[in-house]
Amino acid sequence: MFPILKKRALNDSMTLMVVEAPYIAKKAQAGQFIILRVNEYGERIPLTIADYDREEGTVTIIFQKVGKTTLLLDTLREGDSILDFIGPLGKASELEGYSRAAVIGGGAGCAIAYPQAKALKQLGAKVDMIAGFRNTDLIILEEEMREASDCLYLMTDDGSNGNKGFVTDALKKNIEAGANYDLVVAIGPLPMMKAVCNLTKEYGIKTIISMNSIMIDGTGMCGGCRLTVGGKTKFACVDGPDFDGHEVDFDEVIKRSRTYSEMEREATREFNCHLMEGAKNA
């Protein structure tokens, strides 16, 4: 059992949890992930490690409430425990040797992108962070992102923060203005990562993306997280989660990510009904 030491709502749909997991905290590195199972009947879902504290023995996760499992996870409170918490899984990000980087986060992906910006900066790179949200109410971790980067560009799809546009608009503008990026890191929804990769390919800028695929064990056993990279089958869990974005077959990845979407919608609907009933009876 893994106790939740701290829980904080970042906005209406996103939650941060600090979990006591000393073995994992001791080994965790930027870019790696954990797999958790909320209770005996639960799925195993992967979540990227947002932060860790080796001394305190804690691992921080940030998740978006998108389906039954994340909604269920969100019902846990400080002092409650998560049944299974497994990691650190996957390879650590390779961020050494770059001088000028753009780190791009989309929505919930910002939670994973900003530690990458922090790590790049610590390694001596000048880092621009470009973060995109649907609207200004959904913006999370603004302070953290500002601190982690040399310059933060906050974009909203609807312009409600006064800066309308997609992350690719800001990226393109910076590149055209002469930002000599030798690395772009993009983390967020698959269509966003795909769009970023299409753009950076034109300019020949190396681009790392991070996969958050459907998987069970996270150790290479199920093969459910496989994707095609440069024409070869790779497993996101052991070969990734970071990949060269220009080599990834995004169309296949996007289709695979929808394998269970109908079942997920149904499970989420049922779960919400139960929650409402519970609230009524309480």
**Residues in contact with other proteins by the rule CB under 8 A:** 23-24, 27, 37, 41-44, 68-69, 83-89, 216-224, 226-228, 233, 238, 249, 251-252, 255-256, 258-260, 263-264, 267
Rounded CA-CA distance 36/47 in Å is 8
Structure tokens at 178: 């002469």
Asked if 71 and 272 touch (Cβ cutoff 8 Å), the reply is: yes
Which CB sits closer to other proteins, 134 or 258? 258
Minimum distance of other proteins from residue 217's CB (angstroms): 6
Minimum distance of other proteins from residue 239's CB (angstroms): 11
Which CB sits closer to other proteins, 99 or 259? 259
- Which residue type is seen at 252? E
Which CB sits closer to other proteins, 87 or 245? 87
Structure tokens at 254: 């996007």
Within 10 Å of residue 12's Cβ, how many Cβ atoms?
9
Minimum distance of other proteins from residue 162's CB (angstroms): 39
Find the helix or strand (DSSP H, E) in which 238 lies.
helix 236-239
Structure tokens at 27: 């080994």
Within 10 Å of residue 143's Cβ, how many Cβ atoms?
8
* Inter-CA distances, 238 with 32, 115, 225, 246, Å: 10, 21, 10, 19
DSSP 165: S
Minimum distance of other proteins from residue 191's CB (angstroms): 15
Asked if 154 and 135 touch (Cβ cutoff 8 Å), the reply is: no
Structure tokens at 122: 């610590």
Minimum distance of other proteins from residue 267's CB (angstroms): 7
Which CB sits closer to other proteins, 123 or 238? 238
Which CB sits closer to other proteins, 37 or 100? 37
Which CB sits closer to other proteins, 85 or 243? 85
Minimum distance of other proteins from residue 223's CB (angstroms): 4
